[in-house]
Amino acid sequence: MPTETVSAIEGVRILTLDVYGDLRGRFCEIFRSSSMAETFVQCNHSRSATGVLRGLHYHRHQADLWYVPGGRAQVGLADLRRRGGTPATESLILDAGEPTTVYIPPGVAHGYLALTDLDVIYWVTSEYDPSDEHGVAWNDPTLAIPWRIDAEPVLSERDAKNPNLDWELIPEFS
């Protein structure tokens, strides 16, 4: 039975998976649909070089389930569902050597920094919809996520243009 860590953000689920290993290697069950409230409809694989930062992204209608099969990532999360003030934030490490999944509900901004060369597999509850793709600057001073990087990260053009947190730009979440 996976061990669930209590998150600082309501609805975020951090599950350390059970691993069964022997001299042949290891096995772990990543997710079981009966343990999820939603149905996941698409699975994606992202590969990043060390120093790449993806995010912060958020969605009105899509939940994510992340798993790192290779490498090490720092994950940054920020709860944008309650308008105004300073949102709850969280930073955690996902490491392929310690299999873990992170469930991220709609309205929680999320991003990750590749601390090593990194593979992330993630399931989503909605097929890709560009109208539900939103972002906040990775280095927003209100969120103040303590990224473990000394230099500027490698960003996509889109992520480099993400604005700082402005509650007037954040949509309502249901």
CATH number, position 83? 2.60.120.10
140 falls within a domain:
yes
Answer whether residue 165 is part of any domain.
no
122 is catalytic: yes
Query: Is residue 171 in a domain?
Result: no
Q: 149: domain range?
A: 3-160
- Note whether residue 172 is domain-resident: no
Q: Indicate which residue of 57, 59, 110, 134 is catalytic.
A: 57
Mean pLDDT for all residues in the chain: 95
| Catalytic residue (one of 58, 67, 112, 122) | 122
Residue 149 belongs to some domain of the structure: yes
Q: Is residue 148 part of a domain?
A: yes
Q: Would residue 91 count as lying in a domain?
A: yes
Is the pLDDT at 174 greater than 80? The verdict is no
Number of domains in the chain: 1
Please list, in sequence order, all residues whose beta carbon lies within 8 angstroms of the beta carbon of residue 3, skipping any fewer than 6 positions away: 15, 16
Judge residue 77's burial from the number of C-beta atoms within 10 Å of its C-beta, 0-12 exposed, 13-18 middle, 19 or more buried.
Answer: buried
User: Distance between CA 126 and CA 129 in Å, rounded?
Assistant: 8
Percent of the chain whose pLDDT exceeds 70: 99
Residue 174 lies in a domain: no
Kindly report, residue by residue over 104-157, the tens digit of the pLDDT: 999 999 999 999 999 999 999 999 999 999 999 999 999 999 999 988 999 999
57 is catalytic: yes
